[in-house]
Amino acid sequence: MNHKDNDRYLPIGIFDSGVGGLTVLKEIHALMPNEGIMYLGDTARVPYGTRSEETIKRYSAECASFLFKKGIKLLVIACNTASAISLDYIKELIPVPVIGVIEPGALTAVRLTNNKRVGVIGTEATIRSLAYKKAIHSFDESVSVFSKACPLFVPLVEEGWTSGDVAEKVVSIYLSDLLKSNIDCLVLGCTHYPLLKGVIQDVVGKDVRLVDSAIETAKAVKHVLEDTNLVNRVNSINTIRYFVTDSKERFVSVGERFLNEEINDIEVVSLNKYGRKDEN
């Protein structure tokens, strides 16, 4: 892939099905504060986690094309569901480096597990795709992977119920089977789950190590920017622009809770014409 010298000043593009990918944005911004970021949340069509592969691919292509046309140097698919289903497809579509959240989390789990028994939690579509299992086995075939879809975690987090009795009860019910599998490492395979880290750690106990895909993905982005000579070393363009496909209000109120920071530069956009083969 050839880059022009000025490409390093372009922003990093990040897309997600909605507000959850802000957990990934937060880690990328913390690790690389010089980098500009364009974040697209497809809030009109969230959730992706309950949809078919075909639909997830189409939505992902539209998001990726939108950001590519805005001008980005690298694309991050922050949504675990979209990464699980569409990473290879988007890599073919967009001529900049594309990073998903599955591989970085899978690699960290393989490095952390001592007893070679790893748990993975995510949306229905992510777990059904077996993407984490395949990625973990591509690094170490001898690791046993135990997976569980936890569909109630996303609405729980968006409602702000990330601690207390209800959160503990819901997390305990979903994770009870995994705990019987004697795992020593658990991958948080969904954008929203880092906000439940405290409750999840209490439920699984301190001997089970949690893998936060958002943190691991930020490290992977840094490596790719360094390897491709795309690091922005000028501390002047650290702007973050947000695009959403539905009204701003809910994104801003939930998003500010995710980020612990104000969301200012935000625009509502339509993705209708992006990602179509017949578009010129």
DSSP three-state, residue 100: strand
**Dihedral pair phi/psi, residue 269, rounded to 5°:** -130, 165
Is 63 one of the catalytic residues?
A: no
Cα angle 212, 244, 270 (rounded to 5 degrees) comes to: 135
Other CB atoms closer than 10 Å to residue 132's CB: what's the count?
28
**Dihedral pair phi/psi, residue 87, rounded to 5°:** -55, -50
Six token digits for residue 110: 């393989």
Q: Locate tokens 């009109």: which residue?
A: 44
Is 150 one of the catalytic residues?
A: no
Q: Does 80 interact with ligand DGL (rule: CB under 6 A)?
A: yes
CB nearer to ligand DGL: pick between 112 and 152: 152
Catalytic-role residue among 63, 150, 185, 190: 190
Q: Closest distance between ligand DGL and the C-beta of residue 71, in Å?
A: 24
Residue nearest to ligand DGL (CB): 49
Q: Does 203 interact with ligand DGL (rule: CB under 6 A)?
A: no
Number of residues binding to ligand DGL, judged by CB under 6 A: 18
DSSP E strands: which ranges in the chain?
12-16, 37-41, 74-77, 98-100, 117-122, 144-149, 185-189, 209-212, 240-244, 266-268
> Can you tell me the distance from the alpha carbon of 32 to that of 24, in angstroms, rounded to the nearest whole number?
12
CB nearer to ligand DGL: pick between 154 and 156: 154
Q: Closest distance between ligand DGL and the C-beta of residue 17, in Å?
A: 3
User: Per-residue string for binding with ligand DGL, 226-245, x by CB under 6 A?
Assistant: --------------------
**Which of the residues 24 through 53 are near ligand DGL (CB under 6 A)?**
46-49
Among the listed residues 8, 10, 15, 20, the single contact to ligand DGL using CB under 6 A: 20
DSSP three-state, residue 37: strand
**Which of the residues 153 through 172 are near ligand DGL (CB under 6 A)?**
154
Taking contact as CB under 6 A, which single stretch among the options 118-126, 228-236, 256-264, 266-274 is the one that binds ligand DGL?
Answer: 118-126
Q: Does 123 interact with ligand DGL (rule: CB under 6 A)?
A: yes
Q: Does 79 interact with ligand DGL (rule: CB under 6 A)?
A: yes
CB nearer to ligand DGL: pick between 17 and 86: 17
Q: Does 190 interact with ligand DGL (rule: CB under 6 A)?
A: yes
Q: Does 59 interact with ligand DGL (rule: CB under 6 A)?
A: no
Among the listed residues 43, 60, 86, 126, the single contact to ligand DGL using CB under 6 A: 126
The b/e string for 13-50 (b: 16+ C-beta within 10 A; e otherwise) is: bbbbbbbbbbbbbbbbbeebeebbbbbbbbbebbbbbe
CB neighbours of 208 closer than 8 A, spacing ≥ 6?
A: 119, 183, 184, 185, 186, 201
- Give catalytic residues, as residue numbers: 79, 190
Site for ligand DGL, rule CB under 6 A: 16-18, 20, 46-49, 79-81, 122-123, 126, 154, 190-192
